[in-house]
Amino acid sequence: MVTKPAQPAPAHLHHIADETDDLTIDYPTEDGERLAETEAQYVPLTETVSALRNRFLDRPDVYIIGNMLVYYRMNDTTVRVAPDVFAVFGAPGNHPRDSWFVWREGKAPDFVLEVASRGTRVRDRIEKRDIYARMGVTEYWRFDPTSRRSAPTLIGERLVNGVYQPIPVARDRAGILRGYSAILGLDICLLDGPELKLYDPVGGVWLRNHRESEAAATAAEAAQQEAEAAYRTEARARQDAEARIRELEALLQQRG
């Protein structure tokens, strides 16, 4: 009988059984790296976080953040990773955090998106992919706005038995590169530009980021004010007409 070798424990559980969480350890909240190298990374990163936060605004169990340090090995300040965007479903309270501690929160992120740059492209594809697999991140997406090759610039993968398997990503009839995130319940799309956008296939709408939501709210408010102004103008015209009618009736009565 052949005995299979024991599988190593996931990285975030890689500590001895009787180890306790040392609450006196000061975990850095920054890694000294810039949020993004260029606008090509900054815009999709911040707008995706904004759009997802708007999407799950009424879900206190959903935590959305970007560029936050995730610590996944207890009592070790050096073992960490900073996803560009990540989402956690079933988060224990949607309250502000300085960092995400997998062993304290009770789970790793469910969804991670990395926006590649020329300097991070290889690490996103190899090192971070391995880290997220060992952490147990269910979906890992990569968007490379700097790619000049014919290879896809949008890649999605789902963790199956500890190994990432590709999520189908293909162009639709409109030429939009599109893949479905089962975790988010959304299509992750790449438009010309390239522009990363999120689409709700059930509601049939594109998700708005904070800027677009504010613009829509401003437009709606302006339309409401215009409608109210038109109503007041119409009401004044009606009042003037009624007053004129009363004047004519009074004049006719005087003339018998």
User: What does the pLDDT look like over 51-96, one tens digit per residue?
Assistant: 999 999 999 999 999 999 999 999 999 999 999 999 999 988 778 8
Specify whether 86 is located in the same domain as 191: yes
pLDDT digits (tens, 9 = 90+) for 155-185: 999 999 999 999 999 999 999 999 999 999 9
List strands edge to edge, sheet with 62-65.
62-65, 85-89, 111-115, 139-143, 154-160, 163-167
Burial 134-162 (b: 16+ CB within 10 A, else e): bbbbbbbbbbbbbeeeeebbbbbbbbeee
Specify whether 128 is located in the same domain as 197: yes
Specify whether 123 is located in the same domain as 248: no
**Does 7 score more than 60 pLDDT?**
no
Residue tagged 């990363």 (tokens): 196
Specify whether 18 is located in the same domain as 115: yes
Q: Yes or no: say if 70 and 81 are a contact pair by the CB < 8 Å rule.
A: yes
Residue 10: the pLDDT is 53
Specify whether 54 is located in the same domain as 90: yes
Residue 229: the pLDDT is 59
Q: Is residue 6 part of a domain?
A: no
Specify whether 221 is located in the same domain as 202: no
Supply the CATH number for residue 102's domain: 3.90.1570.20
pLDDT band of residue 221 (cuts 50, 70, 90) is: low
Lowest-confidence pick of 21-35, 195-209, 241-255? 241-255
pLDDT digits (tens, 9 = 90+) for 22-50: 999 999 998 777 666 678 888 999 999 99
Distance CA 74, CA 58 (A): 32
Of residues 105 and 17, more confidence is placed in 105
Of residues 229 and 208, more confidence is placed in 208
Write down the mean pLDDT value for the chain. 84
**Does 188 score more than 50 pLDDT?**
yes
Q: What percent of the chain has pLDDT over 90?
A: 57
Specify whether 67 is located in the same domain as 78: yes
- The tokens for 18 are 């009787």
pLDDT band of residue 237 (cuts 50, 70, 90) is: confident
Hey, which residues does 113 pair with through a beta bridge? 85, 141
Specify whether 196 is located in the same domain as 113: yes
Q: Is residue 193 part of a domain?
A: yes
**Does 140 score more than 70 pLDDT?**
yes
pLDDT digits (tens, 9 = 90+) for 143-156: 998 876 656 689 99
Count structural domains, the chain. 2
Residue 245 Cα distances to 5, 233, 253, 255, angstroms:
99, 18, 12, 16
Residue 186: the pLDDT is 98
**Does 113 score more than 70 pLDDT?**
yes
Instruction: Provide the domain limits for residue 245.
Output: 209-256
Specify whether 35 is located in the same domain as 106: yes
pTM: 0.76
Q: Is residue 5 part of a domain?
A: no
Of 73, 135, 78, 59, the residue nearest 101 (C-alpha): 73
Residue 145: the pLDDT is 87
Specify whether 89 is located in the same domain as 46: yes
Specify whether 95 is located in the same domain as 187: yes
Distance CA 130, CA 159 (A): 11
